[in-house]
Structure 1
Amino acid sequence: MSPDLILPHDGVRPVFSARPVWCGRASTVIGMATLGAQAWLGDDSVIRADGQTVVLGDRFWLGHRSTVHIATKTLGTTVGDRVTVGRNAVVHACTVGSDVVIEDDVIVLDGAVVEDGVVIEAGATVFPRARLPAGFVYGGSPAKPIRPIDAPELAERAERLREASGETPAPPQGDTPEVEDSVFVARTARLRGRIALGAGSSVLFSCLLDAEVGPIVVGADTNIQDNSVLRSRGEGIVIGRDTTIAHNVRLADCRIGARSLIGIGCVVAPGTVIADDVMLAGGATTDPGQLLDGGHLWGGRPARILAPLDASKRALMREIVEGYCAHGQVFRQAQDAGL
């Protein structure tokens, strides 16, 4: 069974094992990805190899609304055999060994190395360039060893995780918005209610934008990346121009300024106001009504100021925006062509 959406990148299409691959509703695989035998991809899962390779071993299991991605100009993602990834998790530009269990809501960030025989507990964040030695259970943010684990317990936890994420209700239906030619909305994204998308913006694969009460307004050249969920149940969500909402972010009713970056897996609570020129580190959360002043890197749970937003971080944020403007046009052309 093929994914709902398969797209090439730079003329390269994904490679699937001749042995069966099971793919759920609205699952997406893009570019230079190779999947081993007996893979299982959950509903709304995304594997995006658009600039570097993604190599996934045999019996890889990717839970619902989870994302595997790369760092476009620097790092691919390599995963060994018999790896189980839970729901709403992100495996990003890293190396993962064999016989690894990555539970729900885990974030594994760029350059991290997860050795064989590891369990990463639900909600943990593996920081960039961290190494997790074999044979332990890890938890927390940043992820730290909790205790040793043996092979029988690891296999049992993998089985429990697969059973828990094996079935989900049917996804909500969405509207098909009218957008101008410079805007990209992925076919697997779902948009409902009053939504305004600025010129050059992009809504990537398996995102959910639900303007249940107030509107959702997205500024020009802003990108909302795979599996992010934006829900308005009050005053609405407003995002400024030239801003990045990374993979698997959850936004409630809030305001986010221009030229900001909301990192992978962040949770932004209702009433949060994020000023212009803010970087919110991956895995961070905000408290309801929290104000994040501009010009700073914020991180933690709840978010606090970590450092000034220096020139290198500002340059990185601009580069991401420019890259996703280009990605959006390439993806739209491929999607419209039915490739």
Structure 2
Amino acid sequence: MSPDLILPYEGVLPDFASRPVWCGRGSTVIGAARIGAQAWIGDDGVIRADGQSVTVGERFWLGPRSTVHIATFTHGTVCGDRVTVGRNSVVHACTVGSDVVIEDDVVILDGATIGDGVVIEAGTTVFPRASLESGFVYGGSPAKSRRPIDRAGVAERAERLRESMSDNPPSPAPEPHEADETVFVARTARLRGRVGLGAGASVLFSCALDAEVGPIVVGADTNIQDNTVIRTRGEGVVIGRDTTIGHNVRVSDSRIGARCLIGIGAAVAPGTVIADEVMLAAGATTDPGQLLEGGHLWGGRPARILGPLDAEKRAMMARIVEGYCRHGREYRVAQVEAE
């Protein structure tokens, strides 16, 4: 069984040591990814190696709506053997040892190193460049050691997590969506209802945009990254231009300004208003009705001001937008050629 969508990046296709044991609906593998034997990729699982490589060992399990990605200019991602990733988690530009369990809703960020025989509990955020020592259970945001665990304990946690993922209900099939020729909508993305996409916008792999109640309006050159879910239940969602919505973000009825970055695994609660030029850190959450003033880095649960949005951060945000505009053009061509 093969992933639902396989695409090259700069002419390089993924390399599978053997045919995966299972690949669910919407599963996607892209670019310079090396996948070990006996892999299991759940519905909407995304492995994207576009700019750096991704290497995963034998018996790698990737849960439904989870994402493995790289940092384009700095870090690839490496996972050892017998790594189990739960639902809606992100493994991003990091190094993960063997016999590791990454439970549901975990975010592992750039440059982090995870030792062998580790369990990362559900909802944990592993901060950039963190080092998690072998043989412990970790939890919290940022991740901290909770207690020691032996290999038998890790194997038991892995088995329980894998069994629960096997029972996950299947994702619905994507529906066709007409868009401007400058827009990229991944074939595995699902758009429903009144979704408007500005010129140059990108909706990446396995995203779900549900606008059957209120509308979703996305500004020009804005990118919505893999496995993000935007769902309206009232007035709708408006996102300004030149904004990045990171992997596995959750957005409810809200307003997000122009030139913003919403970090990996963040959650934007109903009624939130985010001004122009805001960075919301990975794993952060907002309170219902919260106002995030422009010109600041916000983070935490709930979000609070962590510091000014300095010139370096603004330049980084602009580079991401430029890079995803380029990705959108490249993926639009690659997806057509793959059909």
The answer to whether the superposition gives a TM-score over 0.5 is yes
Deviations 1:121-176 (A, max 9, x none): 00000000000000000000000000000111111000000011112223234432
Q: Does 1:30 align with 2:30?
A: yes
Match of 2:219 in 1: 219
Match of 1:164 in 2: 164
Mapped to 2, the partners of 1:316 and 1:231 lie a distance apart of 28
Match of 1:46 in 2: 46
* TM-aligned CA deviation for residue 236 of structure 1: 0.1
Q: Does 1:71 align with 2:97?
A: no
SS of the equivalent of 2:59 reads coil
Match of 2:150 in 1: 150
SS of the equivalent of 2:166 reads coil
Amino acid at match of 1:114: I
SS of the equivalent of 2:157 reads helix
Mapped to 1, the partners of 2:14 and 2:210 lie a distance apart of 31
Mapping of 1:208-287 within 5 angstroms?
A: 208-287=208-287
Amino acid at match of 1:199: A
* TM-aligned CA deviation for residue 212 of structure 1: 2.2
Amino acid at match of 1:4: D
Amino acid at match of 2:96: V
* TM-aligned CA deviation for residue 109 of structure 1: 0.2
Match of 1:117 in 2: 117
Query: Across the two proteins, how many residue pairs are aligned to each other?
Result: 339
Contact 1:22 1:41 in 2 (8 A): yes
Percent identity between the aligned chains?
75
Mapped to 2, the partners of 1:186 and 1:53 lie a distance apart of 21
Contact 2:174 2:188 in 1 (8 A): no
Match of 1:317 in 2: 317
Mapped to 2, the partners of 1:29 and 1:177 lie a distance apart of 22
Deviations 1:162-216 (A, max 9, x none): 0111122232344322111110000000000000000000000000000021100
Mapped to 2, the partners of 1:108 and 1:51 lie a distance apart of 19
Match of 2:204 in 1: 204
Contact 1:239 1:257 in 2 (8 A): yes
Mapped to 1, the partners of 2:106 and 2:338 lie a distance apart of 33
Deviations 1:213-246 (A, max 9, x none): 1100000000000000000010000000000000
Q: 1:174 to 1:5 in 2, by over 3 A?
A: closer
Mapped to 1, the partners of 2:69 and 2:240 lie a distance apart of 25
Gaps of 5+ in 2: none
Mapped to 2, the partners of 1:150 and 1:9 lie a distance apart of 40
Mapped to 2, the partners of 1:10 and 1:209 lie a distance apart of 28
SS of the equivalent of 2:160 reads helix
Mapped to 2, the partners of 1:174 and 1:56 lie a distance apart of 28
Match of 1:140 in 2: 140
Match of 2:12 in 1: 12
Contact 2:240 2:256 in 1 (8 A): yes
Mapped to 2, the partners of 1:317 and 1:145 lie a distance apart of 32
Mapped to 1, the partners of 2:97 and 2:242 lie a distance apart of 36
SS of the equivalent of 1:25 reads coil
Root-mean-square deviation (Å):
0.9
Match of 2:86 in 1: 86
Range 276-285 or range 14-23, more displaced: 14-23
Amino acid at match of 1:7: L
Range 273-282 or range 172-181, more displaced: 172-181
Match of 2:296 in 1: 296
SS of the equivalent of 1:164 reads helix
Amino acid at match of 1:261: L
SS of the equivalent of 1:325 reads helix
SS of the equivalent of 1:165 reads helix
Contact 1:50 1:72 in 2 (8 A): yes
Mapped to 1, the partners of 2:27 and 2:63 lie a distance apart of 10
Contact 1:175 1:193 in 2 (8 A): no
Alignment TM-score, normalising by the size of structure 1: 0.99
SS of the equivalent of 2:169 reads coil
Contact 2:43 2:170 in 1 (8 A): no
Mapped to 2, the partners of 1:21 and 1:200 lie a distance apart of 37
